[in-house]
C-alpha cells in the first residue's frame, strides 16, 4: 500500500511536470505576442522591447521555463500581465465559487443519475426503462451552453423563479449546477442501471429473496449498497470533465469562478493566468484520478492495488 | 421575425432565414465531425497499436505521453489553442483532433497488448511472419469493431466540441454558418427571440444523439459480450 502510494505520487508529480512543460511550450511558440497586448497598439518599438526585457520574455525558452518551475516550487505562479496582481491570489479568490458550483453539480448528477438508473433497473425492458435511457442519452448529447441558455430562458425569463445570473444566494446556484450536472447525470444513470441489473442477477439476491424478505428490503439493503459503490468511486474522475464545463457554464451564467478567469485570460493572451489555471486544473484532475483509484479497493476488495 | 409563414423557423437579426442557415451549418458541423474525428482516430490508432504491440521503451514513452494528455483539461486546452491560432474550419478540426485522440489510444493499447499475447499471433510470429503482416492481417482486423464504435461515438463528441468552441466565438467564424456560431451571434437577443438559440441547439442535440445511439447500437452488434449491459 505505502509502496503503491509512493509510486503513484511520483508518477503524478512527473505527469504534472509534463503538463507544465507542454503548456509552457505551446504558449511559447504561439503566434499571438503578449507584449503587444500589454503595450497597446500605439506603443513604439522601444517600449515593446523594454517591456519584453522587463518580463524576461527575451530570454531563451529553457531559461524562461526553468525560472517558471523554480517559482512554481515556491508556489509562486507569477504575476498577471494585465491585472498587475499575483496569479496565485487571483486563482485563490476565484476558487470558492467554482468549488461550490462543482459540489452543486455533483449533487445534481448523483440525485438525478442514480434515481433514474435505479428506477430503470427495477423495470428492465419496460417503457419506463426505455424512456429513462433515452432521456439519459439526450443528457449526454446536449451541448452545455444550449442546456444553460434554455434553463435560463425557462426558469429565469419566463417563469421568474430563479435569477438569470450572478452569485451569492442558493437560488443563484441552482441553474448553473443543474447545467453542469446534466451531462454527468446521463452517464451515471446508464452506469447505475447496468450496475444494478448486474447485482440483481447475483446469487445472494436470490438467496435474500428465497429467505422471504420483502422486495423493498432486498432492494434497499442488499442490492443498492452493492450497486451504488462502484459508481460513487467515479466522482473523482468527474473533476476532469467539470474543468472543461466550467468555462462554458460560468460564461453563460456570469459565475465569478476559475472558468471565467481562464476565459478572460485566454481572450487577452494573459499567459501567466492561462498557465496557472491549467496547472491548477491538472492538479485537480490528477488528484481526482488518484482518489478514484485509491478508493476502489476499499469498495470492491477484489480490486488489488498494483 | 418569429417562426411561421414564409420563414419556417423565423429569421435572425439581419433578416436571414434561420432554416437555411441551419441547413448550411450542418455542412460545417459534419465536415468538422468527420475530419477531426478521422484525424483523432488515426493518431489514436497509431499511438495505441504501436505502444501495445512493441511495448518496451517506445511503448512506455507513448503511453506516459498519453497519461499526460489525460491530465490536461481538454476543453480548456482546445479553447486556448483555438483562441490563439486564427480560427478557421481546418484549425478548429485540428485542435479538436489533438484533444480527442487520447481515449482511442488508451483503449486500443489495452486491446493490442492482449491480442499480441494470443496464440494465433504467437504462432504467426513463430512461422516467421513480418511485423507488417501480423499487424495488418491479424491485429488490425480484430481492432476494427472497437475503431468503428469509437469512430461513431467520437463524431458526437467532436460535434459538441465544435459547437462549444463556435459558441465562445473562437470556432468557425461568421459569416460561414455553424450551429454553434449561430447561437453565439444571437445569444444577446435570445430573451426576445429564443427560437434563434432553440433551433440550432436542437440541431446539435439531434446530431450528437444520433451518433451516440448508432455508436451504442454498433457496440451491441459488434461486441456480443457487451449485449444487454448499459
* Measured distance CA(A14)–CA(A110) in Å, rounded: 32
B176 pLDDT band, cuts 50/70/90, is: confident
Determine whether the interchain pair A146/B205 forms a contact, defined as Cβ–Cβ distance below 8 Å.
yes
Among A24, A142, A146, the strongest candidate for a mutation testing the B interface, having the largest count of B CBs within 10 A, is A146
Q: What are the percentages of helix, strand and coil residues in chain B, rounded to 5?
A: 75, 0, 20
Q: What is the three-class DSSP state of A23? A: helix
User: In chain B, positions 83-122, which contact chain A (CB-CB < 8 Å)?
Assistant: 83-86
Task: State whether B75 and A243 contact (CB < 8 Å).
Answer: yes
Whether residue B23 is contained in a domain is answered as no
CA distance A182 to B213: 18
**pLDDT confidence of residue B41:** 92
Residue for grid cell 480527442: B100
Give the closest-approach CA distance of A125 to chain B in angstroms.
10
Domain extent at residue B77:
41-222
Please measure the distance between the N-terminal and C-terminal CA atoms of chain A and give it in whole angstroms.
9
pLDDT of residue B200: 85
pLDDT of the residue at A246: 87
For residues A266 and A30, what is the distance between their CA atoms, to the nearest angstrom? Answer: 12
Distance separating alpha carbons of residues B199 and B217, to the nearest angstrom: 27
pLDDT for residue B228: 45
pLDDT in tens, A13-68: 888 888 888 888 887 777 666 776 677 667 777 777 777 777 777 778 888 888 88
Longest pairwise C-alpha distance within chain B: 73
Q: Where are the domains of chain A?
A: 95-299
Nearest CA in chain A to B201: A146
Q: What is the pLDDT of residues A81-113, one digit of tens each?
A: 777 788 888 888 888 899 899 889 999 988 999
Test mutation, B33, B60, B76, chain A, max A CBs within 10 A: B76
Instruction: For residue A92, give how far its alpha carbon lies from the nearest alpha carbon of chain B (Å).
Output: 18
> What confidence tier does B230 reach under pLDDT thresholds 50, 70, 90?
very low
Output the pLDDT for position A243: 78
B169 located within any domain: yes
Close Cβ partners of A188 (under 8 Å, ≥ 6 residues apart): A109, A110, A112, A113, A114, A117, A231, A234
Whole-prediction pTM: 0.82
> Which residues 51-70 in chain B show a CB within 8 A of chain A?
64-65, 67-68, 70
Domain CATH code at residue B205:
1.10.3720.10
User: How does A237-260 read in b/e, with b if 16+ C-beta sit within 10 Å?
Assistant: bbbbbbbbbbbbbbbbbebbbbbb
Q: What is the pLDDT of residue A306?
A: 56
Over the stretch B210-220, which tens digit does the pLDDT of each residue have? 888 888 888 87
Tell me the pLDDT of chain B averaged across its residues.
Answer: 81
CA B218 to chain centre: 16
Q: Is residue B25 part of a domain?
A: no
Which residues of chain A does B212 touch, with a Cβ-Cβ cutoff of 8 Å? Answer: 137, 140-141
Burial code of A205-230, b = ≥16 C-beta within 10 A, e = fewer? beebeeeeeeeeebbeebbbebbbeb
In the predicted model, what is the mean pLDDT of residues B80-107?
Answer: 82
Q: What is the pLDDT of residue A195?
A: 87
* A143–B68 CB contact, under 8 Å: no
| pLDDT above 90 for B43 | yes
**CATH architecture entry for A95-299:** Orthogonal Bundle (1.10)
Contact check, Cβ <8 Å, B230/A193: yes
List C-alpha distances in Å: A145 to A151, B42, B107, B184: 10, 29, 29, 10
Which residue, A234, A227, A225, is CA-closest to A293? Answer: A234
Q: Which of A159-168, B44-53, B119-128, B189-198 has the highest mean pLDDT?
A: B44-53
A66 touches chain B (CB under 8 A): no
| pLDDT, tens only, A247-300 | 888 888 888 888 888 888 888 878 888 888 888 888 888 888 888 778 777 776
* Cβ pairs A/B, distance under 8 A: 136
Q: Which residues of B touch A18 (CB under 8 A)?
A: 64-65, 68, 71
Phi, psi of B182 (to 5 degrees): -65, -45
Q: φ, ψ for residue B127 (rounded to 5)?
A: -85, 10
The count of domains in chain B is 1
B158 in any annotated domain: yes
**Rounded Cα gap, residues A88 and A94, in angstroms:** 10
Q: What angle do CA A246, B159, A22 make, to 5 degrees?
A: 55
- The ipTM assigned to this model is 0.79
pLDDT score of A141: 87
| DSSP helix/strand/coil, B61 | helix
State residue B39's pLDDT score: 93
Residue B8 in domain = no
**pLDDT higher than threshold 60 for residue B82:** yes
Distance (Å) from the alpha carbon of A290 to chain B's nearest alpha carbon:
11
- Give the SS3 label for residue B118: coil
Band (pLDDT 50/70/90 cuts) for residue B40 is very high
The answer, yes or no, to whether residue A186 has pLDDT greater than 60, is: yes
What pLDDT score does B229 carry? 43
Cα B156 to Cα A67, A147, B29, B36, B210: the distances in Å are 41, 16, 10, 11, 8
- Residue scoring higher pLDDT (A162 or A5): A5
Q: What is the pLDDT of residues A115-165, one digit of tens each?
A: 999 999 888 888 888 899 888 888 888 888 888 888 888 887 778 777 777
B230 part of a folded domain: no
* Residue B26 within any structural domain of the chain: no
How far apart are the CA of A2 and the nearest CA of chain B, in angstroms? 22
Q: Which grid cell is A285? A: 484532475
CB contact under 8 A, A30 and B191: no
Is B50 inside a domain boundary? yes
Q: What are A232-244's pLDDT values in tens digits?
A: 777 777 777 787 7
Q: How far apart are CA A67 and CA B219, in angstroms?
A: 49
**B189 in contact with chain A, both atoms CB, cutoff 8 A:** no
Mutate one of B69, B75, B102 to test the A interface: name it (highest A CB count within 10 A): B75
Cβ neighbours, 10 Å, residue A29? 9
Amino acid at each position: 500500500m505505502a509502496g503503491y502510494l509512493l509510486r503513484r505520487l511520483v508518477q503524478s508529480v512527473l505527469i504534472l511536470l509534463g503538463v507544465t512543460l507542454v503548456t509552457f511550450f505551446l504558449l511559447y511558440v504561439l503566434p499571438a505576442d503578449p507584449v503587444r497586448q500589454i503595450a497597446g497598439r500605439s506603443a513604439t518599438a522601444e517600449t515593446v522591447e523594454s517591456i519584453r526585457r522587463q518580463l524576461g520574455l527575451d530570454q531563451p525558452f529553457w531559461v524562461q521555463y526553468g525560472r517558471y518551475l523554480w517559482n512554481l516550487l515556491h508556489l509562486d505562479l507569477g504575476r498577471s500581465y494585465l491585472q498587475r496582481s499575483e496569479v496565485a491570489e487571483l486563482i485563490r479568490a476565484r476558487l470558492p465559487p467554482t468549488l461550490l458550483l462543482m459540489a452543486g453539480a455533483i449533487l445534481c448528477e448523483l440525485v438525478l443519475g442514480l434515481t433514474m438508473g435505479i428506477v430503470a433497473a427495477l423495470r428492465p425492458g419496460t417503457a419506463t426503462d426505455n424512456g429513462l435511457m433515452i432521456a439519459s442519452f439526450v443528457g449526454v448529447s446536449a451541448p452545455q451552453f444550449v442546456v444553460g441558455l434554455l434553463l435560463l430562458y425557462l426558469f429565469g425569463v419566463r417563469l421568474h423563479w430563479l435569477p438569470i445570473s450572478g452569485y451569492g444566494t442558493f437560488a443563484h446556484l441552482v441553474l448553473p449546477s443543474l447545467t453542469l450536472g446534466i451531462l454527468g447525470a446521463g452517464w451515471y444513470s446508464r452506469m447505475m442501471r447496468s450496475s444494478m441489473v448486474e447485482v440483481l442477477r447475483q446469487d445472494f439476491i436470490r438467496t435474500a429473496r428465497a429467505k422471504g424478505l420483502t422486495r423493498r428490503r432486498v432492494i434497499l439493503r442488499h442490492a443498492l449498497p452493492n450497486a451504488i459503490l462502484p459508481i460513487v468511486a467515479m466522482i473523482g474522475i468527474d473533476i476532469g470533465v467539470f474543468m472543461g464545463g466550467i468555462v462554458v457554464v460560468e460564461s453563460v451564467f456570469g459565475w465569478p469562478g476559475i472558468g471565467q478567469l481562464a476565459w478572460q485570460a485566454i481572450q487577452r493572451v494573459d499567459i501567466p493566468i492561462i498557465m496557472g489555471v491549467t496547472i491548477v486544473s491538472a492538479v485537480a484532475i490528477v488528484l481526482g484520478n488518484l482518489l478514484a483509484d485509491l478508493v476502489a479497493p476499499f469498495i470492491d476488495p477484489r480490486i488489488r492495488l498494483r | 421575425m418569429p417562426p411561421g409563414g414564409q420563414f419556417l423557423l423565423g429569421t435572425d437579426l439581419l433578416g436571414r432565414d434561420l432554416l437555411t442557415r441551419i441547413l448550411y451549418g450542418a455542412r460545417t458541423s459534419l465536415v468538422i465531425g468527420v475530419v477531426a474525428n478521422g484525424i483523432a482516430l488515426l493518431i489514436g490508432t497509431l499511438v495505441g497499436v504501436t505502444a501495445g504491440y512493441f511495448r518496451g521503451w517506445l511503448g512506455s514513452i507513448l503511453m506516459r505521453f498519453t497519461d499526460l494528455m489525460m491530465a490536461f483539461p481538454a476543453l480548456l486546452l482546445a479553447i486556448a489553442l483555438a483562441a490563439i491560432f486564427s480560427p478557421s474550419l481546418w484549425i478548429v478540426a485540428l485542435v479538436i483532433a489533438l484533444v480527442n485522440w487520447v481515449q482511442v489510444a488508451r483503449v486500443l493499447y489495452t486491446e493490442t497488448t492482449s491480442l499480441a499475447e494470443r496464440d494465433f499471433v504467437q504462432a504467426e510470429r513463430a512461422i516467421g511472419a513480418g511485423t507488417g503482416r501480423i499487424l495488418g492481417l491479424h491485429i488490425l482486423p480484430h481492432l476494427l469493431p472497437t475503431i468503428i464504435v469509437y469512430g461513431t461515438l467520437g463524431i458526437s463528441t467532436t460535434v459538441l466540441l465544435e459547437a462549444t468552441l463556435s459558441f465562445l466565438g473562437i470556432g468557425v467564424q461568421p459569416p460561414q454558418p455553424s450551429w454553434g456560431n449561430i447561437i453565439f451571434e444571437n445569444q444577446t437577443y435570445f430573451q426576445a427571440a429564443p427560437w434563434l438559440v432553440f433551433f440550432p441547439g436542437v440541431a446539435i442535440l439531434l446530431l450528437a444523439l444520433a451518433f451516440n445511439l448508432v455508436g451504442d447500437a454498433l457496440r451491441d452488434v459488434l461486441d456480443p459480450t457487451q449485449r444487454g449491459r448499459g
